[in-house]
Amino acid sequence: MSSDLASSSAFEALSHKIETRSARAGVIGLGYVGLPLAIAIARSGFAVTGFDIDPKKIVHLDARRSYIDAVASDDLATEIDSGRFVATTDFGGLAACDVIIICVPTPLTKHRDPDLSYVEATSRAIADHLRPGQLVVLESTTYPGTTDDVVKAILETTGLRSGTDFFVGFSPEREDPGNQHYHTATIPKIVAGDGTLALSLMESFYGAAVKTVVPVSSNATAEAVKLTENIFRSVNIALVNELKTVYAAMGIDVWEVIEAAKTKPFGYMPFYPGPGLGGHCIPIDPFYLTWKSREYELPTRFIELAGEINSAMPRYVIGKLAEALDIRAGKALSRSRVLVLGLAYKKNVADIRESPSLRLMELIEERGGKADYHDPHVSEIPSTREYQHLKGRVSVTLSREVAAGYDAVLVATDHDRLDYQAIAESAPLIIDTRNVFARLGLSGDHIVKA
């Protein structure tokens, strides 16, 4: 059979399965991206198998208990009970999947180089079960060229050919934990493919599961779209973080400046300072582009400077904490007990990935202080790559008496489920990195913005 006939046959068979919802989807990596995506696909009528190397996740899912805020346990149970969703650690099930979606981590090494080990290992696992008529999609954020140069290349070691025997595409994840206005099915989905047939399959498959599909010309373009979105946020957050330090030296409140500036109906978009960047995307993704740009001997000074500014924020906050303790309490940080409010990287979620709160706790204790935390969404610090020494610490029970017993309370994450009135009335010193007390109309000489 000629390659043209083979590609046509494979394409038509898979296209028909997608159109009739008889295709089975496999989602590899059942975390903050993979699980919501798997349930959205199942809800649209496809049978979905979720794969993960962590058996604890499978136990939770089999018991119909969701561990991701974006997926309600009742919704999970509905899809399991309907037979549309099943989870497993057995990657042998990939052979039965017509569409395979990779949703695995893409962290950085300690030298801030891309770590594609999860993507590579997953691609090799897929290659072990690859067959004609499958669509393989990468959703993990990465540098332009990864889908074609890494994933496709690994899959083609089987002797099968992309665009002829199987198809490859990229569609960047756009999850926003805690966002009540958008969810997986309503967030516009960027799609791309290795060739026109792959793109057509991508549009058809994702178009069945999400409201709006936005096709682009190549996988590399789609990869660049995701990086651009996150670099935009990183650079603008760095700008307001730098303005915060400059305006503070001048006695100017940066939050008041931003509130006034955002009344301009054109040419301005508000971004807000904080104690540092968190989440998987913004602290990490920009460095994927800075790494790739070296191949072209092009500097990315703007992006790298933003990373430096944002990375310096936890140390700036601890400096403000030490200064406030010295001036207002006459006590050194080395002899102080500090309660960090909020372990998650953003409000109203349980996600602690790359959270600056972990770095804040580490810095306090490096300077001889004692750091505890309270977070209504995170009862215990789990195992993390960089802060293994904090593993197992539990959230203290918060009360007026508890708050009063610390030398300072440091607000790192402004969760809504906190009684800020009680904290303002009981804590002897408050370091507010989120401007939450001013927003609520609470003030006092013991409340210091940082």
> Binning pLDDT at 50, 70 and 90, where does residue 6 land?
low
Q: pLDDT per residue over 183-212, tens digit each?
A: 888 999 999 999 999 999 999 999 999 999
CA–CA separation, 307 and 372 (whole Å) = 27
> Binning pLDDT at 50, 70 and 90, where does residue 3 land?
low
* Count of C-beta atoms within a 10 Å radius of residue 24: 16
Q: Name beta bridge partners: 380.
A: 394
Q: Is 281 a catalytic residue?
A: yes
Q: Per the structure block, which two tokens stand in for 316?
A: 């700036």
Q: Tell me which DSSP letter residue 284 carries.
A: T
For residue 363, the surrounding DSSP H or E stretch is helix 356-366
Cβ contacts of 283 within 8 Å, gap of 6 or more: 234, 277, 307, 310, 311, 354
Number of DSSP helices (H) and strands (E) in the chain, helices first = 16, 13
Predicted structure pTM score: 0.91
Beta strands in 111-177 (DSSP E): 135-138, 167-170
Average pLDDT over residues 295-314: 93
Is the pLDDT score of 417 beyond 70? yes
Q: What are phi and psi of 50, to 5 degrees?
A: -100, 135
Q: What are phi and psi of 99, to 5 degrees?
A: -125, 125
Tell me, what amino acid is at 444? G
Domains detected in the chain:
3-216 (3.40.50.720), 232-449 (3.40.50.720)
Q: What Rg, from alpha-carbon coordinates, does the chain have?
A: 24
Is the pLDDT score of 178 beyond 80? no
Tell me, what amino acid is at 223? E
Q: pLDDT per residue over 82-131, tens digit each?
A: 999 999 999 999 999 999 999 999 988 877 889 999 999 999 999 999 99
- Active-site residue, selected from the candidate residues 39, 224, 277, 281: 281
What does the pLDDT read at residue 439? Answer: 96
Percent of all residues in the chain with a pLDDT value above 90, rounded to a whole number: 89
